Structure 1
């Protein structure tokens, strides 16, 4: 609203309308300004207004206004006075302006209060600005630290991922290495256990060999003494024989010495040949008709059904064999001077005589005879000159008779059997078993094995104590189990109590090698095909031992498992499916 509008009201009604006009002004600053204008100039011709009312209104407005509005009103009042002078062409004296001085004074105090308040507020703002600056700097430092932390965190995460991958790779590598080391440790442990068992067995063998060595040393001393006695006896007999020959020569008619030597040779040599031919015929007859019947006697001994008369005949036969064997052993020295065709009969007679003694109790005095007989058969006889000639010719050539090393298979085969029955030296026995195994590869050798009833001979070496010869003995028996015409007679020869008893003793031993078990099980598998042998398996509890062995055998030994399954199947103790399951397990 302009000043013209303010003065448009009539002068008479000015005083009455001031409160109404000022009350109608909604803007507080304008309300204050309108109050100043309505108060008017005191020098003008308008009637004066009542001062107390205007001043009261003014002070009332000022007290209600904020300080900032009062400052604005003061500035506006100055500008209003300038406009008034310019419009109405008269100056306003601010000193005479009613209430203006008081208002100016009041505004001065208000301005002072405002300035002090502004100074305090400025100080507060400075403090706040300082605090904000510090907080901003702290925030920047925190942000920089967070940025570094984020960078470090990313780097840490990256390195952590790399380290984790390296750790997993190392763990995997170490796990594989640990597995390999564990496997190697298991192998070493099993090898160590095997070596320990072998060491224990070797120690036991060493102790056995030591004891055997002591026994052999004692026997060697006895043999040496016996040999010295025999040598003295031989020298005495040779001297006595030479004396007898001299006496016969002195009593004979005087003839020329050359003619005597020629006639003596002509007379003696044919006589010896005829005697040996007669003796060999008798030996063949006795061996074939009497001594070779040992098989029937053994069967009767097993069944305990032979008569008392047969027992007496058997003992009589053994006594006669004990008397004949030393003489036959001495006669081996004559073999180089006899027709080699006659050697077979002598060796066969000696063999059957030894077999007759083997069925009974061998006399203690026969030990040295048996040993000497075995060595002579093994090494052969080498002699120089005729032992019946009175003169030893220097021009005579040495003659020999080979038995164990003979090229004739029947003679060599019988000599091998005699060596196996008489010799106790391990190296001799090993060579004898090798020779027997080679001969048994032929059909002729298998026929000779059955003819001379060799099962008891080999059976005497199936002992756990002689582990070195056990494998060789089983090799000889395995040669007889090959498919041939001799297989069934061989199995029948093994179907007796003595053979099954020896097998039972072997299976009860816990020190047998897997190879020996495999060889033994092959023979038992062949025997289990014969139905009558089931009683033998049950009599010696072989079926229970085979079942236990089948349960504890390592499936890796497939050949042994197959033979065990086959034995149980033949005995009716296992189903046919067990063989299939064992084969699948071994594969």
Structure 2
């Protein structure tokens, strides 16, 4: 509408200008000029009326289109500026609009702007009112939601409090039950230990009682024999000669019985009892068959019955041929090896101790057994030396029996010294392998007795010397029992340097066998060796060389970091 008004206004101005030019060109009369002026005034009034009508139309249009007011204001402002510029330019160029008309126009324009501002203000107030309504509604909903949330939180808090109380009550009950359970477990453990101790004591007392009974019976028989001998001595010489003849007749028969028994012992030892090694290896794999278990139990029971009898018969060894001593000692040794594990060994503790002491000290006895009738009244003192025998196989077996049965430190020290001396010979090394001595020495590889530990390692070191027995010895040591014992020793804090060096020499020999690598890894020996290599002072050259050699054999060290092959003795 404003554009229409501008177009009409321009037409009116052009018409007025053309009329003025015609009046001045034809020199019209003053009246005609007045009429023209009046005519121009009338046109101006009409134009003003048209503008007012357009302005009213524009105002109503703007009031009706409140949604597009902000976009049209910029356009209206440009249009108004354009109109003002055109009107000003037209008035300035032609000067045809009367001043009062321009003043009316300006006033109307100002009124129009105020109306626009009022309309905009009304729209803003309406918008603010709507915003207030929406805000109040939002606040109302928010307050309702907040109240609901607080109610839910309160309800959940109460429920959580109840659950917490119940959990605390249950935890308290659980702690009480746990304390009672721990107390009962401790009581049960104490009672079990006490029961085991009492059972062990009962077995020891029972075994001791049996030994005492057998000893009493033997002493009774011995006393009766002594009384009989005294009575026989008090008789006339003729009668004594007859008695001697009868004894002479009985002695060969007794010797034949001993020969028969020793031959049977030798047979049993070689064919049955010496198979303890195979059973130990199978025991480590936990795959023993039921028949083998029953056979082993049967063998152990027989050994438990025979060992006390054999211990009693040791007193008769001085009266028999010394060649018969070896089968008896061998039978004792293999019987003891059959009782290495289990409760049987504990039940035979007193018998074992007696066997060890008699084998260590030897047996000395006075008797009247005569081998010829020419010396009927001669009483000879005879003895049977086992541990101190000059016959190496007998001495070697006696040493092993002492190591298996005796607990006195001085006896064990002498036994280890004798063993190390014998192992310096090839015969001693062969006997070591023949009688499977590795488990015997393993029992003494304990940190509780450093002196015996060092002596046991010395015995093993003798076997690591270069000889035909070296490889079989290393194979005998390539088992879980040996590596487990070495692992326990290496884990001992502040282990003596000499003991550590001796142990590393043995491990260095075992590391040469490729199949032993899994044993090193199974018991984490390789990690302990690496740690020792890292922490060992370089001044301990012998130990460092052996540690490096072990790691090299296991494939855990470079060859250029190793020296030449280390020596096998310290």
Normalised-by-shorter TM-score class = 0.5 to 0.7
Cα distance in 1 for residues equivalent to 2:215 and 2:283:
41
Task: From 467, 472, 477, give the equivalent of 1:489.
Answer: 472
CA-CA distance at 1:512 after TM superposition: 1.6
Cα distance in 2 for residues equivalent to 1:582 and 1:414:
35
Which residue does 1:144 correspond to in 2?
none
Cα distance in 2 for residues equivalent to 1:411 and 1:581:
41
Give yes or no for the alignment of 1:343 onto 2:325: yes
Which residue does 1:378 correspond to in 2?
360
Which residue does 2:60 correspond to in 1?
none
Q: Tell me the alpha carbon deviations over residues 542-576 of structure 1, each in whole angstroms, 9 at most, x when there is no partner.
A: 11111111111111100000000000010111111
Secondary structure at the aligned position of 1:418 is classed as: helix
Q: Tell me the alpha carbon deviations over residues 222-256 of structure 1, each in whole angstroms, 9 at most, x when there is no partner.
A: 99999877765544344566799999x9xxxx995
Which residue does 2:457 correspond to in 1?
474
Cα distance in 2 for residues equivalent to 1:222 and 1:322:
13
Give yes or no for the alignment of 1:464 onto 2:460: no
CA-CA distance at 1:363 after TM superposition: 4.3
Check the 8 A contact 1:561/1:582 in 2, yes or no: no
Give yes or no for the alignment of 1:424 onto 2:407: yes
Cα distance in 2 for residues equivalent to 1:407 and 1:272:
26
Q: Tell me the alpha carbon deviations over residues 426-446 of structure 1, each in whole angstroms, 9 at most, x when there is no partner.
A: 000000000000000000000
Q: CA RMSD in A?
A: 3.3
CA-CA distance at 1:267 after TM superposition: 2.2
CA-CA distance at 1:304 after TM superposition: 1.5
Which residue does 1:258 correspond to in 2?
240
Which residue does 1:514 correspond to in 2?
497
Which residue does 1:571 correspond to in 2?
554
Which residue does 1:316 correspond to in 2?
298
Check the 8 A contact 2:317/2:363 in 1, yes or no: yes
Secondary structure at the aligned position of 2:264 is classed as: helix
Secondary structure at the aligned position of 1:529 is classed as: coil
Q: 1:409 to 1:267 in 2, by over 3 A?
A: same
Q: 1:340 to 1:303 in 2, by over 3 A?
A: same
Which residue does 1:405 correspond to in 2?
388
Task: From 220, 236, 239, give the equivalent of 2:220.
Answer: 236
Q: Note the 1:146-161 alignment, pairs <5 A.
A: none
Give yes or no for the alignment of 1:303 onto 2:285: yes
CA-CA distance at 1:301 after TM superposition: 0.7
Q: 1:560 to 1:460 in 2, by over 3 A?
A: same
Secondary structure at the aligned position of 2:344 is classed as: coil
Check the 8 A contact 1:337/1:386 in 2, yes or no: no
Cα distance in 2 for residues equivalent to 1:323 and 1:223:
11
Q: Tell me the alpha carbon deviations over residues 269-319 of structure 1, each in whole angstroms, 9 at most, x when there is no partner.
A: 111111111111111110111011111111111112221010000000000
Which residue does 2:424 correspond to in 1?
441
Cα distance in 1 for residues equivalent to 2:520 and 2:482:
11
CA-CA distance at 1:386 after TM superposition: 3.9
Check the 8 A contact 2:368/2:380 in 1, yes or no: no
Check the 8 A contact 2:406/2:412 in 1, yes or no: yes
Which residue does 1:48 correspond to in 2?
none
Cα distance in 1 for residues equivalent to 2:347 and 2:460:
32
Which residue does 2:272 correspond to in 1?
290
Which residue does 1:272 correspond to in 2?
254
Give yes or no for the alignment of 1:455 onto 2:438: yes
Check the 8 A contact 1:385/1:398 in 2, yes or no: yes
Check the 8 A contact 1:555/1:582 in 2, yes or no: no
Unaligned runs of 5+ in 2: 1-203
CA-CA distance at 1:385 after TM superposition: 1.1
Unaligned runs of 5+ in 1: 1-219
Q: Tell me the alpha carbon deviations over residues 129-170 of structure 1, each in whole angstroms, 9 at most, x when there is no partner.
A: xxxxxxxxxxxxxxxxxxxxxxxxxxxxxxxxxxxxxxxxxx
Which residue does 1:327 correspond to in 2?
309
Q: 1:229 to 1:280 in 2, by over 3 A?
A: closer
CA-CA distance at 1:354 after TM superposition: 0.4
Check the 8 A contact 2:319/2:369 in 1, yes or no: no
Q: Tell me the alpha carbon deviations over residues 250-269 of structure 1, each in whole angstroms, 9 at most, x when there is no partner.
A: xxxx9952343123212221
Give yes or no for the alignment of 1:415 onto 2:406: no
Moved more, 256-265 or 349-358: 256-265
Determine which structure has greater relative contact order: mean sequence separation of CA pairs < 8 Å that are 6+ residues apart, divided by chain length.
2
Q: Tell me the alpha carbon deviations over residues 46-91 of structure 1, each in whole angstroms, 9 at most, x when there is no partner.
A: xxxxxxxxxxxxxxxxxxxxxxxxxxxxxxxxxxxxxxxxxxxxxx
Q: Tell me the alpha carbon deviations over residues 438-474 of structure 1, each in whole angstroms, 9 at most, x when there is no partner.
A: 0000000000000000000011100011111000000
Cα distance in 2 for residues equivalent to 1:222 and 1:535:
46
Give yes or no for the alignment of 1:542 onto 2:535: no
Task: From 353, 365, 374, give the equivalent of 2:347.
Answer: 365
Check the 8 A contact 1:335/1:381 in 2, yes or no: yes
Which residue does 2:488 correspond to in 1?
505
Q: 1:488 to 1:268 in 2, by over 3 A?
A: same
Q: Which has the larger radius of gyration?
A: 1
The number of equivalent residue pairs is: 358
Cα distance in 1 for residues equivalent to 2:492 and 2:398:
32
TM-score by length of 1: 0.57
Secondary structure at the aligned position of 1:362 is classed as: helix
Cα distance in 2 for residues equivalent to 1:536 and 1:421:
27
